């Protein structure tokens, strides 16, 4: 995959997530609230992998760098593989730079409709970082669906660990958001991205089955013990 494709894929996610109109928060939360939610998501997902990585994979969990918020409209935009990060975007930089980042405006726009938005963005991008740590046989053909699945596994796992409070209503809203993503994003290309139902199913599988449910069946059957990168 080229760098351009990686960026495009994440731009699509961002655009799709922004299509969410169902709210579970009233009014516009203060900036501090959003930052706290983002930090909670980061710490919860990271703690999940730190505690559970060895249940699924060999070697040890190495967390990605969390660059966090950036202003894509500013003159000093961070770069990935030498290219400036796109405005109103969120993604995982797959090069050796190995970092996660999200545009502040993107997060704020989505957050107006509910806090689950930022949890989903963080968990989905973290899912891409996890994919990049796995051997090829543990990665699925559709990277976006696997990231959606891992997001479900991460958030449910973090909730069970008590590091993230994510009630069933939020999960339903995330599912709705994924459906609306697929409905409204022009970038969807058959074969590259899942349909709405496929995305919802992927998130639900991760939530209900956990990480092993996000791995290719053959690899899971072998115990998902193949060496990681
Ligand atoms: Zn993605």
pLDDT, tens digit, for every residue of 164-188? 987 667 767 666 666 655 544 333 3
Indicate whether this complex's ipTM tops 0.90: yes
Q: Give the pLDDT confidence of 184-214 residue by residue, as tens digits.
A: 433 333 455 567 678 778 888 999 999 999 9
Judge whether 64 and 150 are in contact, CB under 8 Å.
no
What are the Cα distances from residue 16, in Å, to 51, 143, 167, 183?
31, 16, 22, 8
128 CA from centroid of ligand 1 (Å)? 7
pLDDT of residue 150 exceeding 60: yes
147 CA from centroid of ligand 1 (Å)? 6
Sign (positive or negative) of CA dihedral 121, 71, 115, 196: negative
36 CA from centroid of ligand 1 (Å)? 23
129 CA from centroid of ligand 1 (Å)? 10
117 CA from centroid of ligand 1 (Å)? 14
pLDDT of residue 13 exceeding 60: no
């Amino acid at each position: 995959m080229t760098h351009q494709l990686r960026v495009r894929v994440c731009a699509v996610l961002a655009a799709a997530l922004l299509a969410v109109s169902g709210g579970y928060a009233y009014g516009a939360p203060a900036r501090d609230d959003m930052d706290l939610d983002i930090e909670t998501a980061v710490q919860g997902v990271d703690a999940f992998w730190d505690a559970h990585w060895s249940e699924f994979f060999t070697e040890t969990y190495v967390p990605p760098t969390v660059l966090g918020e950036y202003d894509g409209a500013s003159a000093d935009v961070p770069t990935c593989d030498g290219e400036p990060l796109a405005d109103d975007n969120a993604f995982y930089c797959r090069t050796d730079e190995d970092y996660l980042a999200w545009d502040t405006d993107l997060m704020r726009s989505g957050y107006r409709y509910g806090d689950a938005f930022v949890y989903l963005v963080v968990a989905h991008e973290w899912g891409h970082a996890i994919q990049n740590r796995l051997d090829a046989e543990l990665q699925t053909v559709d990277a976006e669906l696997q990231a959606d699945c891992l997001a479900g596994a991460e958030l449910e796992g973090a909730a069970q660990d008590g590091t993230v409070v994510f009630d069933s209503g939020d999960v339903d809203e995330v599912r709705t958001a994924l459906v609306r993503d697929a409905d409204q994003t022009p970038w969807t290309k058959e074969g590259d991205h899942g349909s709405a139902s496929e995305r919802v199913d992927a998130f639900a599988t991760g939530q209900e089955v956990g990480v092993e449910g996000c791995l290719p069946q053959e690899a899971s059957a072998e115990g998902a013990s193949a060496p990681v990168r």
